């Protein structure tokens, strides 16, 4: 048997991370979490999670950044808002999941070629480039990067989508793309300033 | 009655049938729709996972544009509907978000007035057009067609503005007015797992199987949806989900069922784009269609 | 420092500045203030002392009054809330009116909040100067005495009301006990056993109920409500509305032959006492141990009321007693009491509001009260815990916190549910041998013997799953779940989600204020907290008093609580009421407002702003009049009056202006 000795010292906590989560929109009430587990029980995806949403909330507010950002939980969340609506303390768990996802993507806390962050990155690239998503092209790019084999396996579906006119190659785009670029760049700039 | 129409990226691609049937139904009811000029992607759930505040900024551009049109904004896609509402609320409730977003809008020369009324077609059909007007347009009643109305998540959570959050009935009432029988489908607001079928296939497939099995269990002959991703999941992957026992359950947009009831030609209702055809069921129920 | 007031030789003011040990003297130069005060106009004597409130300190004041003929006193010390009564007492003992005193707070307002000695001393001097000017205008005032009617009205006949009524009645005073239901007993009458002793609820309740019914000092009015309350402490006039039972109470002997003889051979209407789990006839006795033991007729069910053509076998069988009267109308009684004790209790959370728990949708989902009736030997199933189809459950799940600790429904913890859930777990297991699961978030067992009761349950093999339940569903996800109700919760202690199939689900519903609590509180002129419970005067030190003198609250209407606490509060309220009655009169502070009728224009603005409804409009003179007994001296009317026609004793315009002038008079 592979033994592991686990004890968590206070210095291992990341208080900045804990503070960050409470300051996130939706996290104002996280200190009120009673650990009742209603979020986990309402969540349709919790059955697959390594840390249930409830556990993740507690780990987050205590500042155990590494455990939180490397969990499967944040990637499994589909933002169905069931937890946020049911939470008896009004904690917007979904919003916190979004924040954790974004942070994990920023800090590259995920295995190589993991589809979900790759999807997020490709999505954002397409927006920056064209302002709208052309589904067919997006799916191709993500599959190419992460699961080429599976894509080939689903090719018959792809063909059928083509036949029924649901897969369009024509590029969807915004004519005043410069506005989109300007918008996104300004947001990044203002945020940098505020961080200072 | 005229509305500004925000299609969103999916309605131009995999959700094409939604747009087609929606336009046909609204046209039949004499409600004018004008597509929002130069709309951009709302960010949906994916951009929100990448960068929340940029996501709000993207949605805000659409709101600013829509406000200028002076008309209510209709967003049929559930994710767009939620995203636009969330943006409106968060820009107002979190001053720092509002500051960043408004700054960005100003920089590109846009008004920061985001107070356009964001509506969903279900809301418009029920509350503005009214059941009486809809009933009047029905030429091929749905003859008790057993429909499982599937609302999914984002239309009712977290903002349930025109319907009950846990037991929504707006789609039920609309389709019942056209002669359908709505079956009691307890999974009507359970998540379809969104994009997980693509990224985490076994998880996605499991959810899809449950939803389809559930619908069959309550005797549904078809599922009616409001979200392009739900529709995609339940229909396109149905074969994979069915495995040894195919489900053979047509999954349509509620607007497609309305279109059938209104006597809209098949092509205009986008029915030829279905993977599981509704035609056998219509024939079985002796519902004439064009 | 200039002071433009003209000295008045008739006034002789004594100023006393207290060191309060080092509390004041540590930050304020007491000596300097005393010297300064001595130099103010009309100040005959100015002294400082270490502890003015002590006996020698008070003696100082008394002696000066006698030797120097002082007729106004200023004491610069702590807050009036601390020692105003003390110094007033000193003045009284010395033979002058106690309201010729003005206190200056140089402790809480100066030495305790400032650090700079110079500035603090300057401030204290300003305050003393202001007080010296003000006190000149003080008039002698007299406390009013109001006689107290020793009768007491108890509203609500649950365990709290019953206990309060018996306690007071045993002291020889007369009690009117008014109960809205046709019988007393309240919620406790529904229970089978009570925690933690598992005493039979009826066995400990019914003797008290009978005692109430038989007590010579208690007038018991059931099926009656308070319709109107007028008056003030010691002198309340209450109108009680009696609902018609269509039975003449004095003649009915409770034999129930009429019920037996009713044309309906079987019950058809939901039996309220059995929570709708059984049916009753239009004529019925609420429950076998009802007090008073009289039947009543439900006019919505009885044929006679609908068609006037019933055979009336009930009347026939009643025979010579002639106790049934279909023409009975509601009637009123007017009573005079000195105090009112409100014991109107609670209602349970409507479980239908938690849609995902399936109450009303799945037939074998019950509320806790329904299960109490199943367990009770005189309940709808004779004490057999069975499902809707009559079979015994082999597994049961008890869900805690339904409608409690939830910002979507009720934020508070209902205090009793953990204990009663444990009790139900025990009883279900004992009676049926079923596997029982309790789904809880925290196990709240703080009372005497409560944690020990929990220990007992832990021994009995009940499963405890710590997790708030998300849903109760009848859709199986596994062959073992077919035909069952499945409870889905995260077992937070284990760290994963569990699905537990059970035959029976029990929802431990929380407690809420009565549906009409807000209307009732207006009737009685008391307040409600934000959540709707009746508001106590102080949560720690005055839990059974309200801000309305003479009206007390006791039991669950003040907040969720168990039976021991209800009884304790009832006893406390009874003691307060008896103290009031035995004091025979109550003295009211004279800081009341009065209307200067000559200048009152009759605009009625003051009537609308008085929070105590103490002002009325006199039709004859077309002016307002303040009821000085109800008036609490809040000053709102005086401030509101557009023509300054309302003055408040002790806070007349002149007095306030003088104080302000005194503060502002600086060089």
Residue C1 has pLDDT above 50, yes or no: no
Distance from the Cα of B173 to chain A's closest Cα (Å) equals 24
For chain B, the domain total comes to 2
Read off the pLDDT of residues C445-480 as tens digits, 9 standing for 90 and up: 999 999 999 999 999 999 999 999 999 999 998 999
Residue C359 falls inside a structural domain: yes
Provide the β-strand partners of residue C297.
Answer: C283
Residue A33 falls inside a structural domain: yes
Which two structure tokens, joined as six digits, stand for A18?
A: 């804990």
Query: Same structural domain for residues C288 and C400?
Result: no
Residue C293 CB-half CA count within 13 A: 11
Residue A137 falls inside a structural domain: yes
Assign residue B72 the CATH number of its domain: 1.20.1050.140
Q: What is the pLDDT of residue C5?
A: 64
Percent of chain A with pLDDT over 90: 78
Read off the pLDDT of residues C511-569 as tens digits, 9 standing for 90 and up: 999 999 999 999 998 999 999 999 999 999 999 999 888 999 999 999 999 999 999 99
Contact C496 A36 (CB under 8 A): no
Polymer length in residues for chain C: 667
Query: Same structural domain for residues A100 and A161?
Result: no
Q: Please provide the average confidence, as pLDDT, over all residues in chain A.
A: 92
Residue B54 falls inside a structural domain: yes
Q: What is the pLDDT of residue A68?
A: 95
Read off the pLDDT of residues A56-114 as tens digits, 9 standing for 90 and up: 999 999 999 999 999 999 999 999 999 999 999 999 999 999 999 999 999 988 877 78
Which two structure tokens, joined as six digits, stand for A57?
A: 């909330």
Provide the β-strand partners of residue C617.
Answer: C624
Q: What is the pLDDT of residue B2?
A: 95
Residue C174 falls inside a structural domain: no
Q: What is the pLDDT of residue C29?
A: 96
| Out of B9, B94, B198, closest to residue A25 by CB | B94
Query: Same structural domain for residues A73 and A160?
Result: no
Most B CBs within 10 Å: which of C475, C476, C477, C481, as the mutation test of the B interface? Answer: C475
Query: Same structural domain for residues C421 and C296?
Result: no
Residue A158 falls inside a structural domain: yes
Percent of chain B with pLDDT over 90: 91
CA Rg value for chain C = 33
Q: Are strands C395-402 and C504-509 parallel, antiparallel or unpaired?
A: parallel
For chain A, the domain total comes to 2
Enter the pTM of the model: 0.86
Please state, in angstroms and rounded to a whole number, the distance separating the CA atoms of residues C502 and C485.
5
Assign residue C644 the CATH number of its domain: 3.30.70.20
Q: What is the pLDDT of residue C211?
A: 98
Residue C309 falls inside a structural domain: yes
Query: Same structural domain for residues A91 and A121?
Result: no
Residue ranges of chain C whose CB lies within 8 Å of a chain A CB: 405-408, 441-442, 466-471, 488-492, 495-497
Query: Same structural domain for residues A92 and A147?
Result: no
Provide the β-strand partners of residue C438.
Answer: C398, C464
CA distances from C291 to B117, C207, C249 (A): 61, 10, 12
Query: Same structural domain for residues C280 and C367?
Result: no
Query: Same structural domain for residues C287 and C359?
Result: no
Query: Same structural domain for residues C440 and C389?
Result: yes
Query: Same structural domain for residues C19 and C68?
Result: yes
> Which of residues B119, B147, B182 is at a domain's end?
B119
Residue A2 falls inside a structural domain: no
Residue B137 has pLDDT above 90, yes or no: yes
Q: Please provide the average confidence, as pLDDT, over all residues in chain C.
A: 95
Residue C221 falls inside a structural domain: no
State which residue of chain B sits closest to C358, comparing Cα positions: B186
Query: Same structural domain for residues B97 and B59?
Result: yes
Read off the pLDDT of residues B74-119 as tens digits, 9 standing for 90 and up: 999 999 999 999 999 999 999 999 999 999 999 999 999 999 999 9
Q: What is the pLDDT of residue C553?
A: 98
Contact C475 B214 (CB under 8 A): yes
Read off the pLDDT of residues C241-266 as tens digits, 9 standing for 90 and up: 999 999 999 999 999 999 999 999 99
Assign residue B261 the CATH number of its domain: 3.40.50.11810
Between B and C, how many residue pairs show a Cβ–Cβ distance under 8 A?
A: 7
Assign residue A82 the CATH number of its domain: 1.10.1060.10
Query: Same structural domain for residues C359 and C489?
Result: yes
Percent of chain C with pLDDT over 90: 93
Largest CA distance in chain B: 59
Residue B128 falls inside a structural domain: no
> Which of residues A59, A88, A106 is at a domain's end?
A106
Query: Same structural domain for residues B98 and B207?
Result: no
Distance from the Cα of A48 to chain C's closest Cα (Å) equals 10
> Which of residues A86, A106, A126 is at a domain's end?
A106
Query: Same structural domain for residues B111 and B144?
Result: no
Query: Same structural domain for residues B114 and B246?
Result: no
Assign residue C62 the CATH number of its domain: 3.40.50
Query: Same structural domain for residues C426 and C375?
Result: yes
Distance from the Cα of C248 to chain A's closest Cα (Å) equals 51
- Per-residue pLDDT band for B32 (boundaries 50, 70, 90) equals very high
Residue A4 has pLDDT above 80, yes or no: yes
Q: What is the pLDDT of residue C4?
A: 58
Query: Same structural domain for residues C500 and C359?
Result: yes
Q: What is the pLDDT of residue C158?
A: 97
CA distances from B188 to A156, B167, B184, B194, C131 (A): 30, 8, 9, 15, 73
Subunits that touch chain A (at least 3 Cβ pairs < 8 angstroms)? B, C
- The whole-number average pLDDT for the span A167-181 is 93
- Per-residue pLDDT band for C587 (boundaries 50, 70, 90) equals confident
Residue B129 falls inside a structural domain: no
Nearest to C132 by CA among C45, C21, C48: C45
Query: Same structural domain for residues A48 and A98?
Result: yes
Residue B124 falls inside a structural domain: no
Q: Which domain holds residue B40?
A: 2-119
Query: Same structural domain for residues B142 and B252?
Result: yes
> Which of residues B84, B119, B154 is at a domain's end?
B119
Q: What is the pLDDT of residue A196?
A: 78
Query: Same structural domain for residues A97 and A124?
Result: no
Q: What is the pLDDT of residue C3?
A: 53
Q: What is the pLDDT of residue C8?
A: 76
- Per-residue pLDDT band for C171 (boundaries 50, 70, 90) equals very high
Distance from the Cα of C465 to chain A's closest Cα (Å) equals 11
> Which of residues C496, C512, C528 is at a domain's end?
C512
Read off the pLDDT of residues C635-666 as tens digits, 9 standing for 90 and up: 999 999 999 999 999 999 999 999 999 999 86
| Out of C407, C442, C497, closest to residue A46 by CB | C497
Q: Which domain holds residue A187?
A: 115-195
Read off the pLDDT of residues B223-277 as tens digits, 9 standing for 90 and up: 999 999 999 999 999 998 887 888 999 999 999 999 999 999 988 999 999 999 9
For chain C, the domain total comes to 4
Query: Same structural domain for residues A143 and A188?
Result: yes
- The whole-number average pLDDT for the span C21-47 is 95
Query: Same structural domain for residues B114 and B153?
Result: no
Residue C188 has pLDDT above 50, yes or no: yes
Residue C2 has pLDDT above 60, yes or no: no
- The whole-number average pLDDT for the span C427-431 is 96
Q: Please provide the average confidence, as pLDDT, over all residues in chain B.
A: 94
Contact A188 B54 (CB under 8 A): yes
Query: Same structural domain for residues A123 and A142?
Result: yes
Query: Same structural domain for residues A158 and A119?
Result: yes
Residue C422 falls inside a structural domain: yes
Residue B59 falls inside a structural domain: yes
Query: Same structural domain for residues A151 and A102?
Result: no
Residue C312 falls inside a structural domain: yes
Q: What is the pLDDT of residue C667?
A: 46
Query: Same structural domain for residues B44 and B112?
Result: yes
Contact C355 B166 (CB under 8 A): yes
ipTM: 0.92
Please state, in angstroms and rounded to a whole number, the distance separating the CA atoms of residues B30 and B20.
15
Residue B189 falls inside a structural domain: yes
Residue A146 has pLDDT above 90, yes or no: no
Give a three-class secondary structure readout of chain B.
CEEEECCCHHHHCCCHHHHHHHHHHHHHCCCEEEECCCCCCCCHHHHHHHCHHHHHHHHHHHHHHHHHHCCCEECCCHHHHHHHHHHHHHHHHCHHHHHHHHHHHHHCCCCCCCCCCEECHHHHHHHHHCHHHHHHHCCCCCCCCEEEEECCCCCCCCCCCCCCCCCCCHHHHHHHHCCCEECCCCCCCCCCCCCHHHHCHHHHHHHHHHHHHHHHHCCCCEEEECCHHHHHHHHHCHHHHHCCCCCCCCEEEHHHHHHHHHCCCCCCCCHHHCCCCCHHHHHHCCCCCC
Residue A1 falls inside a structural domain: no
B217 at C interface, C-beta within 8 A: yes
- The whole-number average pLDDT for the span C568-583 is 97
Residue C6 has pLDDT above 80, yes or no: no
Please state, in angstroms and rounded to a whole number, the distance separating the CA atoms of residues C429 and A35.
28
Q: Strands, DSSP E only, in C492-550?
A: 496-502, 504-509, 511-513
Q: Which domain holds residue C630?
A: 591-649
Residue B38 falls inside a structural domain: yes
> Which of residues A106, A127, A158 is at a domain's end?
A106
Query: Same structural domain for residues C125 and C28?
Result: yes
Query: Same structural domain for residues C316 and C406?
Result: no
Residue C261 falls inside a structural domain: yes
B219 at C interface, C-beta within 8 A: no
> CB neighbours of A49 closer than 8 A, spacing ≥ 6?
A43, A71, A72, A73, A76
- The whole-number average pLDDT for the span C575-588 is 94
- Stated as kind and residue range, the H or E segment containing C472 is strand C469-473
Please state, in angstroms and rounded to a whole number, the distance separating the CA atoms of residues C363 and C372.
17
Distance from the Cα of C464 to chain B's closest Cα (Å) equals 28
Query: Same structural domain for residues C411 and C275?
Result: no
Query: Same structural domain for residues B101 and B145?
Result: no
- The whole-number average pLDDT for the span B55-67 is 96
Residue A3 falls inside a structural domain: no
- The whole-number average pLDDT for the span C587-610 is 92
Query: Same structural domain for residues A75 and A143?
Result: no
Read off the pLDDT of residues C147-165 as tens digits, 9 standing for 90 and up: 999 999 999 999 999 999 9
Residue C344 has pLDDT above 60, yes or no: yes
Percent of chain C with pLDDT over 70: 99
Residue B172 falls inside a structural domain: yes
Query: Same structural domain for residues B97 and B218?
Result: no
Query: Same structural domain for residues A156 and A181?
Result: yes
State which residue of chain C sits closest to B215, comparing Cα positions: C475
Read off the pLDDT of residues C90-137 as tens digits, 9 standing for 90 and up: 999 999 999 999 999 999 999 999 999 999 999 999 999 999 999 999
Which two structure tokens, joined as six digits, stand for B134?
A: 């809809």
């Amino acid at each position: 048997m592979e033994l592991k000795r686990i004890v968590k010292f206070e210095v291992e906590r990341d208080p900045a991370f804990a503070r960050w989560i409470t300051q996130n929109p939706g996290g104002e009430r996280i200190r009120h979490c009673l650990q009742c587990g209603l979020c986990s029980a309402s969540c349709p995806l919790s059955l697959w999670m390594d840390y249930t949403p409830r556990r993740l909330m507690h780990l987050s507010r205590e500042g155990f950044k590494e455990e939180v950002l490397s969990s499967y939980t944040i990637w499994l969340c589909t933002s169905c808002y069931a937890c946020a609506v049911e939470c008896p303390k009004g904690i917007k768990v979904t919003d916190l999941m979004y924040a954790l996802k974004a942070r994990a993507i920023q800090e590259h806390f995920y295995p190589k070629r993991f589809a979900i962050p790759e999807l997020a990155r490709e999505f954002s690239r397409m927006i920056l480039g064209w302002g709208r998503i052309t589904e067919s092209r997006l799916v191709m790019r993500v599959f190419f990067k992460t699961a080429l084999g599976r894509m080939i396996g689903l090719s018959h579906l792809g063909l059928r989508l083509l036949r029924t006119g649901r897969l369009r190659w024509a590029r969807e785009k915004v004519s005043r793309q410069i506005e989109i670029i300007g918008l996104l760049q300004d947001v990044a700039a203002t945020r940098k300033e505020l961080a200072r | 009655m005229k509305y500004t129409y925000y299609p969103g990226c999916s309605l131009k691609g995999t959700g094409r049938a939604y747009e087609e049937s929606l336009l046909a139904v609204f046209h039949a009811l004499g409600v004018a729709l004008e597509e929002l000029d130069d709309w951009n992607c709302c960010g949906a759930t994916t951009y929100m996972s990448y960068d929340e505040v940029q996501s709000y900024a993207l949605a805000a551009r659409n709101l600013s544009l829509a406000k200028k049109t002076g008309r209510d904004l209709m967003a049929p896609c559930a994710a767009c509907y939620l995203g636009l509402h969330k943006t409106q609320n968060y820009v107002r409730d979190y001053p720092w978000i509002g500051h960043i977003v408004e700054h960005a809008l100003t920089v590109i020369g846009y008004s920061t007035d985001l107070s356009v009324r964001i509506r969903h077609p279900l809301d418009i059909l029920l509350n503005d057009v009214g059941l009486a007007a809809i009933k009047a347009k029905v030429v091929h009643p749905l003859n008790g067609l057993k429909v499982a109305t599937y609302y999914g998540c984002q239309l009712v959570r977290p903002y349930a503005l025109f319907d009950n959050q846990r037991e929504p009935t707006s789609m039920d009432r609309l389709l019942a007015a056209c002669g359908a029988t709505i079956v009691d489908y307890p999974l009507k607001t359970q998540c379809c797992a969104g994009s997980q079928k693509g990224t985490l296939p076994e998880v996605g497939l499991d959810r899809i199987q449950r939803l389809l099995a559930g619908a069959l269990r309550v005797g549904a002959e078809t599922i009616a949806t409001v979200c392009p991703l739900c529709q995609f999941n339940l229909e396109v992957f149905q074969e994979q989900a069915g495995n040894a026992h195919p489900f053979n359950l047509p999954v349509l947009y509620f607007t497609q069922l309305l279109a059938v009831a209104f006597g809209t030609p098949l092509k205009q209702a986008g029915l030829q784009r279905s993977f599981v055809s509704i035609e056998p069921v219509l024939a079985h129920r002796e519902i004439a269609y064009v | 420092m200039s002071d433009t007031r003209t000295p008045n030789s008739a006034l002789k003011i004594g100023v006393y500045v207290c060191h309060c040990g080092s509390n004041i003297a540590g930050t304020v130069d007491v000596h300097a203030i005393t010297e300064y005060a001595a130099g103010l106009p009309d100040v005959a004597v100015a002294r400082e002392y270490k502890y003015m409130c002590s006996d020698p300190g008070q003696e100082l004041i008394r002696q000066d009054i006698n030797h120097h003929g002082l007729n106004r006193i200023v004491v610069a010390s702590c807050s009036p809330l601390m020692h105003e009564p003390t110094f007033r007492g000193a003045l009284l003992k010395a033979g002058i009116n106690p309201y010729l005193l003005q206190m200056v707070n140089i402790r809480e307002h100066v030495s305790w909040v400032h650090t700079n000695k110079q500035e603090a001393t300057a401030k204290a001097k300003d305050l003393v100067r202001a007080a010296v000017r003000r006190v000149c205008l003080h008039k002698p005032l007299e406390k009013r005495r109001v006689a107290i009617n020793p009768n007491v009205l108890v509203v609500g006949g649950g365990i709290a009301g019953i206990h309060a009524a018996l306690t007071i009645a045993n002291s020889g005073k007369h009690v009117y006990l008014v109960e809205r239901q046709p019988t007393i007993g309240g919620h406790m009458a529904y229970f089978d056993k009570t925690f933690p002793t598992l005493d039979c609820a009826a066995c400990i309740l019914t003797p008290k109920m009978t005692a109430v019914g038989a007590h010579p000092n208690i007038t018991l009015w059931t099926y009656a409500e308070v319709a109107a309350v007028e008056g003030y402490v010691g002198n309340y006039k209450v109108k009680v509305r009696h609902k018609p039972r269509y039975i003449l109470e004095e003649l009915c002997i409770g034999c129930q032959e009429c019920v037996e003889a009713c044309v309906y051979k079987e019950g058809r209407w939901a039996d309220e006492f059995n929570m709708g789990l059984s049916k009753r006839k239009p004529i019925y006795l609420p429950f076998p141990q009802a007090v008073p033991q009289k039947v009543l007729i439900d006019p919505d069910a009885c044929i006679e009321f609908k068609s006037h053509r019933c055979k009336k076998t009930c009347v026939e069988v009643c025979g010579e007693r002639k106790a049934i009267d279909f023409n009975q109308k509601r009637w009123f009684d007017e009573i005079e009491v000195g105090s009112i004790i409100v014991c109107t209790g609670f209602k349970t959370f409507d479980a239908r509001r938690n849609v995902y728990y399936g109450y009303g949708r799945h037939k074998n989902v019950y509320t806790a009260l329904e299960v109490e009736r199943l367990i009770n030997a005189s309940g709808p199933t004779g004490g057999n815990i069975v499902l809707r189809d009559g079979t015994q459950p082999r597994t049961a799940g008890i869900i805690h916190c339904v409608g409690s600790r939830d910002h979507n429904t009720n934020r508070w913890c209902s205090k009793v549910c953990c204990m009663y859930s444990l009790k139900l777990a025990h009883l279900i297991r004992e009676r049926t041998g079923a596997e029982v699961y309790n789904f809880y978030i925290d196990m709240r067992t703080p009372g005497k013997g409560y944690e020990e009761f929990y220990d007992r349950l832990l021994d009995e093999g009940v499963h405890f799953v710590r997790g708030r339940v998300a849903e109760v569903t009848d859709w199986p996800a596994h062959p073992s779940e077919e035909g069952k109700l499945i409870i889905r919760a995260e077992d937070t202690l284990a760290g994963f989600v569990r699905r537990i199939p059970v035959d029976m689900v029990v929802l431990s519903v929380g407690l809420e204020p009565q549906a009409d609590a807000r209307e009732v509180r207006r009737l009685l002129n008391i307040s409600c907290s934000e959540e709707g419970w009746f508001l106590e005067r102080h949560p720690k030190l005055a839990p059974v008093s309200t801000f309305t003198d003479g009206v007390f609250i006791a039991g669950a209407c003040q907040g969720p609580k168990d039976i021991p606490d209800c009884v304790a509060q009832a006893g406390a309220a009874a003691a307060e009421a008896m103290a009031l009655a035995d004091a025979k009169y109550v003295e009211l502070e004279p800081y009341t407002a009065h209307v200067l009728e000559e200048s009152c224009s009759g605009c009625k603005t003051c009537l609308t702003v008085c929070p105590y409804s103490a002002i009325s409009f006199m039709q004859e003179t077309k002016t307002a009049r303040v009821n000085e007994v109800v008036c609490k001296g809040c000053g709102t009317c005086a401030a509101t009056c557009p023509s300054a026609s309302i003055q408040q004793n002790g806070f007349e315009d002149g007095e306030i202006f003088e104080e302000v002038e005194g503060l502002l008079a600086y060089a």
